[in-house]
């Protein structure tokens, strides 16, 4: 009897024993199959939601770009750089100078900008409403103190195009009906001595910071500020006046002189045009709104500011120098440095940055010089992200 029951038990059950000692009964199979199907359905659903469809991928990108706070890393994980990271004495150990301001107006040029430079000379000398200083007919200006330099990227004798450009500007100065010498103490020519390769602007975009790589323009700027001691030792301030920055009121030299402050490293204009569509990621998207346009007054010959610019150049290389300056000092990891140098950067109404907008759409109240490319007639893909 016991043997019959044992046989029936053997026929009604299937026992499997591996080296692990596990066993599985036939009655447990439906439950296991049901669990397996549920896990499979869950895994399949998760795969579809986690990246198998374009919509899911786009949602993840949006979540990462717009919903995750930028400073979660620098605040919760790494923290801002400590004070000793910056060697703050390098940036704050320079005493403010109370000496008389010595200003130079520097116009950066390439050979392609010749006619723009000539147009400047014509406007300054033929239109009294745009005269750099008070020019009474028949009377020289009393002791002009501001110097003017036409600042070329290539050596002045680099090729026939540069030589022809220099000659054209010289002739325009000589032919001016009211000589610019009335307002400028010295008028000269400078060169950044860049090679042909160094002058190339690739216009490569960085879609994280929104910046555009303009190697030639950036290199030319840093060469003046950091590698030309005969300029930085002779002056306290430089007004960097690109060929598309035009005066809109007379006596603009005196206005610039009044704004030059030995305690301020950079003073210029924020964006004074309608808020653009900015495509960069945070925090750069917001920091872009606070940058000071490159047509500005710069403190030169100050070791602290030079150390700051070298750090910016190292961090951002050939990206636009004005936005690079803003991003470097506004990044959360540089918070300690920002605390001690924020007062070195200032805004002014004397210069207005209008970008590509006409004056009618730009806030120019109080402006003497306006920077803008409002003659741009068609969409420029190189500026994608700022329209």
| pLDDT at residue 316 is higher than 70 | yes
- Widest CA span of the chain, in angstroms? 140
What's the pLDDT score for residue 15?
46
Q: Which residue has the tokens 């070195």?
A: 344
In this structure, the dihedral spanned by the alpha carbons of residues 57, 59, 61 and 65, taken in order and rounded to 10 degrees, is 180
Q: Is the peptide bond before 228 cis (omega within 30 degrees of 0)?
A: no
What confidence tier does 140 reach under pLDDT thresholds 50, 70, 90? low
Tokens for 374?
């409002």
Q: Which two three-digit tokens encode residue 234?
A: 């002779």
Of residues 67 and 237, the one with the higher pLDDT is 237
Instruction: Looking at mean pLDDT, say which of 147-151, 281-285, 356-360, 375-379 comes out highest.
Output: 147-151
Q: pLDDT at residue 178 above 80?
A: no
Is 90 exceeded by the pLDDT of residue 254?
Answer: yes
Q: pTM value?
A: 0.78
Q: Residue written as tokens 């495509």?
A: 279
Between 207 and 108, whose confidence is greater? 108
C-beta neighbour count of 379 within 10 angstroms: 10
Nearest one of 117, 298, 119 to 221, comparing CA atoms: 298
- Report pLDDT digits (tens) over 70-115: 555 555 555 567 666 767 677 888 877 777 899 999 999 999 999 9
Q: How far is CA 27 from the centre of its chain?
A: 71
Secondary structure letter of residue 66 according to DSSP? I
Domains along the chain with CATH numbers: 2-67 (no CATH), 103-383 (3.90.550)
Please tell me the distance from the alpha carbon of residue 298 to that of residue 364, in angstroms, as a whole number.
21
DSSP-assigned letter for residue 10: H
Res 134: pLDDT: 82
Q: Cβ contacts of residue 183 below 8 Å, gap of 6+? A: 124, 131, 132, 133, 135, 141, 144, 146, 253
Residues 6+ apart with CB under 8 A from 121: 169, 172, 173, 176, 180
Cis peptide before 368 (omega within 30 of 0): no
- 271 — phi, psi (to 5°)? -70, 120
3-class DSSP state of 109: strand
More confident residue, 27 or 235: 235
Mean predicted confidence (pLDDT) in 285-299: 91
DSSP H helix total and E strand total for the chain: 15, 12
- Partnered with residue 92 across adjacent β-strands are none
Whether 30 has a pLDDT exceeding 80, the answer reads no
Spatial strand order in the sheet of 369-372: 245-247, 369-372, 351-355
Check whether 202 has a pLDDT greater than 90.
Answer: no
Tell me the average pLDDT across 61-71. 58
């Amino acid at each position: 009897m016991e043997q019959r029951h044992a046989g029936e038990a053997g026929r009604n059950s299937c026992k499997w024993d591996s080296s692990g000692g596990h066993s599985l009964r036939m009655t447990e199979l439906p439950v296991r199959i049901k669990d397996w199907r549920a896990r499979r359905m869950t895994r399949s659903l998760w795969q579809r939601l986690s990246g198998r469809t374009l919509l899911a991928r786009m949602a993840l990108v949006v979540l990462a770009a717009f919903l995750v706070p930028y400073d979660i890393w620098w605040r919760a994980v790494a923290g801002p750089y400590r004070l000793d990271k910056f060697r703050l004495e390098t940036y704050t150990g320079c005493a403010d100078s109370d000496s008389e301001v010595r200003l130079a107006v520097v116009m950066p040029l390439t050979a392609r900008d010749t006619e723009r430079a000539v147009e400047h000379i014509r406007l300054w000398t033929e239109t009294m409403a745009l005269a750099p200083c008070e020019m009474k007919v028949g009377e020289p200006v009393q002791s002009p103190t501001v110097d003017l330099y036409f600042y070329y990227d290539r050596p002045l004798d680099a090729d026939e195009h540069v030589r022809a450009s220099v000659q054209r500007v010289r002739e325009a100065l000589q032919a001016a009906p009211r000589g610019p010498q009335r307002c400028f103490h010295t008028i000269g020519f400078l060169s950044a001595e860049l090679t042909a390769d160094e002058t190339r602007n690739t216009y490569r975009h960085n879609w994280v910071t929104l910046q555009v790589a303009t190697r030639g323009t950036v290199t030319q700027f840093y060469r003046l500020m950091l590698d030309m001691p005969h300029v930085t030792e002779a002056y306290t301030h430089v007004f960097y006046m690109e060929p598309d920055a035009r005066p809109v009121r007379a006596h603009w030299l005196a206005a610039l002189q009044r704004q030059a402050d030995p305690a301020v490293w950079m003073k210029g204009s924020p964006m004074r045009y309608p808020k653009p569509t900015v495509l960069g990621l945070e925090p750069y998207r917001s920091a872009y709104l606070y940058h000071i346009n490159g047509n500005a007054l710069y403190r030169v010959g100050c070791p602290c500011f030079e150390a700051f610019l070298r750090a910016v150049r190292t961090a951002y290389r050939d990206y636009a120098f004005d936005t690079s300056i803003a991003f470097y000092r506004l990044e959360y990891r540089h918070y300690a440095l920002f605390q001690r140098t924020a007062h070195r950067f200032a805004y002014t109404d004397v210069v207005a940055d209008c970008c590509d907008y006409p004056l009618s759409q730009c806030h120019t109240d109080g402006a003497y010089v306006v920077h803008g490319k409002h003659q741009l007639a068609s969409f420029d893909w190189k500026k994608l992200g700022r329209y």
